[in-house]
Structure 1
């Protein structure tokens, strides 16, 4: 599915409508060029889940974790930024493998293309949001869900 986002208000509405899907899939890969809006969209998603702390780009620490409740269940939003990861093996050193198994963990992964092959190989379901810059304000979002037989 493709959707044209003209401003932040439209982006907020788009991600608000995805809340249940994000919870059920548990992993959202945010993919786009530098400056495409990955961190901004991660912040919008965090706000939709009523996370009070400001979500910042975790580029230098790679991984930040935030607790939240959704429909009276406790979850953890794991915000990862894989920009500085050069080899897939580096991702596994983060102990991500164990964290992916925990049902209370939700993942927003910037530069998600760096882990996509691993998730597919392990048959781990995810949502992929590809962000294409059209101009200063507008983005084209392409949403795809992984599927395995």
Structure 2
């Protein structure tokens, strides 16, 4: 089973973020899409829905940013684009983050595919002109 939604403008993104959070129960959410598809922008919208008070930005060089919601919930945001191999992720302790019970939002998860837990959800983003197509796959609906 595949769940999908189309966004026709950036103004629809909060609705998409709400839909994702309402649909996905898993703590680890993988975001897949070409460069410029809007992964970081979607993560900003998800964090807004989670009432994150911190400024949300891409952790391209630091690899991971930690955010905290108003209720104290911790959210980890990974951008693994610059990872060359899985050993780099292991060196930064990625397994501790993935199994922490906190929400983990991961850009470029294919860089660590062998390290990912079985029970994670995937949001695939594709671009068609000004439209963004979002497809959710979870361990229970793949």
State TM-score, norm by structure 1: 0.84
- In structure 1, list runs of 5 or more residues that go unmatched: none
Which residue among 50, 72, 75 is the counterpart of 2:73?
Answer: 75
User: What is the SS of the residue equivalent to 1:18?
Assistant: helix
Q: What is aligned with 2:48?
A: 47
Which residue among 119, 130, 133 is the counterpart of 1:140?
Answer: 133
Q: Does 1:114 align with 2:111?
A: yes
CA RMSD of superposed structures (Å) = 1.9
Q: Does 1:59 align with 2:52?
A: no
The alpha-carbon deviation at position 52 of structure 1 amounts to 1.7
Q: What is aligned with 1:126?
A: 120
State TM-score, norm by structure 2: 0.88
**Following TM superposition, where does structure 1 have runs of at least 4 consecutive aligned residues deviating by more than 6 angstroms?**
none
Q: What is aligned with 1:8?
A: 10
Q: What is aligned with 1:93?
A: 91
- Take 1:27 and 1:13, find their aligned partners in 2: how far apart are those partners? 20
- Take 1:102 and 1:3, find their aligned partners in 2: how far apart are those partners? 29
- In structure 2, list runs of 5 or more residues that go unmatched: none
- Take 1:2 and 1:89, find their aligned partners in 2: how far apart are those partners? 34
The alpha-carbon deviation at position 42 of structure 1 amounts to 0.5
Tell me the alpha carbon deviations over residues 79-117 of structure 1, each in whole angstroms, 9 at most, x when there is no partner: 0100001112211111111222222x1111111222333
